[in-house]
Amino acid sequence: MTTDTLPAVHGHVAPGFEPVRDAFLANWSDFDEIGAGFALRAGGECVVEIHAGWADRKKSRDWQADTLVPVYSTGKAVAALVMAKLVDKGLLDYDAPVADYWPEFAAGGKSAVTVAEALSHQAGLSGIAEEMDAGDWFDAGKIEDKLARQAPLWEPGTGSGYHPVTFGFIADALARRTDGRSIGAILREDVCGPAGIDFHVGLPESEHGRTAEHAMPKRLPDLGEPSRARELAFLKAWSSPGRRGATEWRKAEFPAANAHATAGALARLMTVYADAGKLDGKRFISEATLADLVRERVAGPDKVLPFDLSWGAGIMRNTRPGFYGPTPQTVGHSGWGGSCAFADPVNGVTGAYVMNRQMHYLAGDPRPVRLIEAVYGCLK
C-alpha cells in the first residue's frame, strides 16, 4: 500500500505520543490492515484514542469512533473482572470448589477443582468431548450439563490448558448461581450501562449496524503438536459456536468469545487492573481482591496453546516479559485474530487494540506489539 492510499487517522493523540499514531498507520503499509482502533490511558486520562480505515471488507463503510468489533478472547479480561467483583462481594471464593456453587460440576473427578483453578484454565475442560452440533453452544443449559458431566482431559491442577470457549460458560454458570444474573447482565446493569462504557456481552440487535465485518486469517495458527485437548479446543466441527448466523451470534452471551467493544471502552475497563482496583477513580474491587485476581495461579507450558504462560484467575500475566511490553507486572489478554488489552500498574497505563483484519497469531500479533513498543518508547 502506497502512502497515497493510506487511510486518514482520526481521533485524539496527546503531545508526546505521536509515535503511537505513526506505528498505528504503519500497520496498513506492512500488514494490509483494513480498519482498526487503538486507545491508551495514562494516569487515568485518555492520551490516545484513534481509529482509521474501513469497517467492511469491501472498504465501503468508514470505521467510526463508535464502530464496534468482536474482540473474541480479549473479553476474558473483563469477564475476570466480573468474577473478581463477585469475590469482592463475598458471593464467590477463589479457593472454594466450583462444586460448592454448582454441585453437578463435581462429576467425573472434578469435585476438588477450585474457582481459581477453573478460571486459570486448569479444570481440564478445554473443549466439549461429546460430539455435538455447533449450534448447541447457544443453549447454555445444555453446555453446562455437558461440562458438569465431562471427565477432565487431564488431571486438574497439574497445569493450564487454555479453555477458549468453555471458560466463559464455567464463569457464567458461577455468576448466575451466586449473583442470579449472567456476566452480560451484570455488565449491562452494574458496570458498562451506568458508566456509558461501550462494551457488550450479548449485543442488542439495535447496535448491529455499527459492528465491523471481519476478514478471516489467510492461514491457520500454529498450535504445536496435536493432542486431544487441542483438537477439542480448536479443531472439531463443534469447537466453537456456529450455524445460527451472525445476528444470533452477536446477540448471544459467550463471555469468553464474543464480546463487542471499542478500543476506548476496553482501555477504560482495564484501568481496574492498573489503578489499584478503581474504575474511573471509584472503587470497583478492593486492593486485596485485585491482588488475589492477578497473582500467579499456574505457570509453565500450556497444554493447549503452544506457549509457556502464567495465569492469574482469568487474566494472563506478562511475567517474561511477554506480549504486553517490558513490565513484568503487566496483565492482559489477547483475542482470536489480533485484538488485545493490557494494564501496567507500575506505569499506570492501559491500552487496547481492535481490528477487523484477522491474522493467524494466537498471541503476540506484530500489529499490537508494534503499538505497545511505541507506547513504551514514549514513556521513557
Cell numbers placing 41 = 490511558
pLDDT at 90: 98
Contacts of 242 (CB under 8 A, 6+ apart): 134, 135, 137, 249
End-to-end CA distance of the chain: 31
d(CA 305, CA 139): 27
290 sits in the region (left: phi over 0; alpha: psi -120 to 50; else beta) called: alpha
Cell numbers placing 265 = 471502552
Strand, helix or coil at 378? Answer: helix
**Residue 81 in contact with residue 262, Cβ under 8 Å?**
no
Give the strand pairing for 9-13 and 45-53. antiparallel
pLDDT at 251: 98
Cell numbers placing 76 = 476474558
Please give the backbone phi and psi of residue 33, each rounded to the nearest 5 degrees, phi first.
Answer: -55, 150
Q: In Å, how far from its chain's centre is CA 45?
A: 22
Q: What Å distances lie between residue 286 and 61, 86, 107, 266, 289, CA to CA?
A: 43, 11, 34, 20, 5
* Adjacent-strand bridge partners of 62: 54
Active site residues: 73
User: What's the DSSP call for residue 326?
Assistant: S
Strand, helix or coil at 350? Answer: strand
d(CA 237, CA 340): 26
Please give the backbone phi and psi of residue 255, each rounded to the nearest 5 degrees, phi first.
Answer: -60, -20
320 sits in the region (left: phi over 0; alpha: psi -120 to 50; else beta) called: alpha
pLDDT at 352: 98
Write out the DSSP string of 253-318. Answer: --TTT-EEE-HHHHHHHTHHHHTTTEETTEESS-HHHHHHHHS-SEEEE-SSSSSEEEE-SSSEE-
* Adjacent-strand bridge partners of 31: none
pLDDT at 242: 94
Task: Provide Rg for the chain, Cα atoms.
Answer: 19
Please give the backbone phi and psi of residue 204, each rounded to the nearest 5 degrees, phi first.
Answer: -60, 145
CA atoms within 13 A on the CB side of 375: 28
Domains of the chain: 3-379 (3.40.710.10)
pLDDT at 44: 87
Other C-beta atoms closer than 10 Å to the C-beta of 15 total 6
Cell numbers placing 249 = 451470534
| Cα three-residue angle 107-312-180, rounded to 5 degrees | 55
**Residue 261 in contact with residue 75, Cβ under 8 Å?**
yes
Other C-beta atoms closer than 10 Å to the C-beta of 345 total 18
pLDDT at 66: 98
375 sits in the region (left: phi over 0; alpha: psi -120 to 50; else beta) called: alpha
**Residue 164 in contact with residue 73, Cβ under 8 Å?**
yes
Mean pLDDT of successive 10-residue segments in the chain (380 residues)? Answer: 77 98 98 98 96 97 98 98 98 98 98 98 98 98 98 97 98 98 98 98 98 92 92 97 96 98 98 98 98 98 96 94 92 96 98 97 93 96
**Residue 310 in contact with residue 317, Cβ under 8 Å?**
yes
**Cα dihedral 307/310/315/319 (nearest 10):** -100
